[in-house]
Structure 1
Amino acid sequence: MGEDGRAVLVTGASRGIGRATAQAFLNSGARVAINGRTTESVEEAIADLGEL
């Protein structure tokens, strides 16, 4: 994708397609913000995805 330095917001990123999308943006060099239905699910996603 080549998103170096861009900031993106991925909604529904605590699981499924949203989490995969967040990971893809992270892998491409983007700065990623995520949200999800519960604080717990978002915290789990952050731990799995690494530094956001």
Structure 2
Amino acid sequence: MTSTNDATDLSGHVAVVTGAAAGLGRAEAIGLARAGAT
């Protein structure tokens, strides 16, 4: 079984998150960045 981080490698992908200043948007932006998205 693989962890979620192994299954969602976003290296080289671009993610646009609106509302990333606070709350859920911020948490999503941090998660995407940790997965390798820019």
Both proteins in one fold, TM over 0.5:
yes
Higher RCO (CA-CA < 8 Å; seq separation 6+)? 2
Return the index of the structure with the highest Cα Rg: 2
Q: The TM-score by the shorter chain falls in which range?
A: 0.7 to 0.9
Number of equivalenced pairs: 31
Aligned partners of 1:5, 1:29: CA distance in 2, in Å? 7
Extract unaligned runs of 5+ from structure 1: 32-52
Q: Write the mapping of 1:14-25 to structure 2, written as runs, cut at 5 A.
A: 14-25=21-32
Identity %: 39
Q: How high is the TM-score relative to the length of structure 2?
A: 0.76
In structure 1, the partner of 2:3 is none
Q: After the TM superposition, which segments of 4 or more aligned residues of structure 1 sit over 3 Å from their partners?
A: none
TM-score by length of structure 1 reads 0.57
